[in-house]
Amino acid sequence: MQLEAHRSLADLTTFGLPSTAEHFVCCESVEVAKEALAWRSRSGCPLHVLGGGSNVLFTGDLPGMVLRLGIDGIQEVHKDAEAVYVRVGAGVPWHDVVQASLDRGWNGLENLSLIPGSTGAGPLQNIGAYGVELEERFDSLEAIDIASGEVHTFSHADCQFGYRESVFKRALKGQFVITHVTFRLPLVPDLRLEYGAIRAELDREGVDVPDARAVSEAVIRIRRSKLPDPAVIGNAGSFFKNPVLDDAAFDSLVKSHPDVPNYPAPNGVKVAAGWLIDRAGWKGHDRGTHGVHDRQALVLVHRGGAKGADLVKLAEDIQSDVFAKFGVALEREVNVLPVG
């Protein structure tokens, strides 16, 4: 284990905001992760787990230990009549997993192309895009119990997935470190073409009979046309979740705004947060060092020189204004640290 003191974290997050870890360790194996957790237990200091840094906003320095997952590897472990089972290290960048699956002829992840972040963070928040959520392709995961150091395996049911949710964000929050994720990828393509602009993009490219790679390439083109590259301007992708309204709340909203984009959801109706923010007049909002992206209202951007608190204040202003104008409460998708 190589423990670093006072390590800057700005280069490890897509926002690029200033923050320093009191203690920092990058864990490239389960054994090193266990050793780091044991050291942290003996010291009694706070623990922060960092993956790809694409879904976090730092508002200051982090006391204690920052443990970054760097566990690598993409391995086929099993195949049955319907699917191939693929075990992936938590530190593998998510888009690398999608591309590897396409290269090896595996189906099912194409709609999730170009989502930033690491594989280990995927189940934590049940990442999703263009009509597919990770839980649909999920089989199981392995995670270290922070208290005991033991490795546990979690099934799909154990994870209690919801919209951008899992048990690791609720009942088991802060209790486990995910080390590996196993996916169940269908042998027969299950193409999802109706969400967003996928079919229109395929038509524009003259693709009459798409395969998984064609869908992935369409998703990549769409995302690049709407979302800023974190290497060019700091951002964490979608800052807010699409709110899910119950029938009464949705009926009230659609009466005054019949054109609001909406989609069926298990517990109600999902409406487009970006549309609400855009209609409230926030798209392209500029506060100099930071603001709202001019092509996608869901994305807050850091141009350089801002502090995490500045981005949090902007998010709160947007939430207040959207609630005042539409009666809809927006929830952050990005995690803010330190808390409080």
> Could you give the residue numbers annotated as active site?
164, 238, 333
Task: Report residue 330 as tokens.
Answer: 């927006």
Task: Report residue 220 as tokens.
Answer: 């990549």
Judge residue 159's burial from the number of C-beta atoms within 10 Å of its C-beta, 0-12 exposed, 13-18 middle, 19 or more buried: buried
H helix intervals, the chain: 30-43, 94-103, 121-125, 156-159, 198-204, 212-226, 247-256, 273-279, 308-326
190: amino acid identity, one letter: D
Judge residue 193's burial from the number of C-beta atoms within 10 Å of its C-beta, 0-12 exposed, 13-18 middle, 19 or more buried: middle
Neighbours of 79 (CB within 10 A): 12
58: amino acid identity, one letter: F
Q: What is the DSSP string of 297-320?
A: TTEEEE-SS--HHHHHHHHHHHHH
Helix, strand, coil % over all residues of the chain, rounded to 5: 30, 30, 40
Q: What is the CA radius of gyration of the chain?
A: 20
Nearest to 54, CA basis, from 97, 114, 136 = 114
Q: What CA–CA distance (Å, rounded) separates 179 from 33?
A: 9
β-pair type (151-155, 138-145) = antiparallel
Judge residue 77's burial from the number of C-beta atoms within 10 Å of its C-beta, 0-12 exposed, 13-18 middle, 19 or more buried: exposed
Sheet holding 234-238, edge to edge: 234-238, 299-302, 290-292
Nearest to 127, CA basis, from 164, 159, 177, 102 = 164
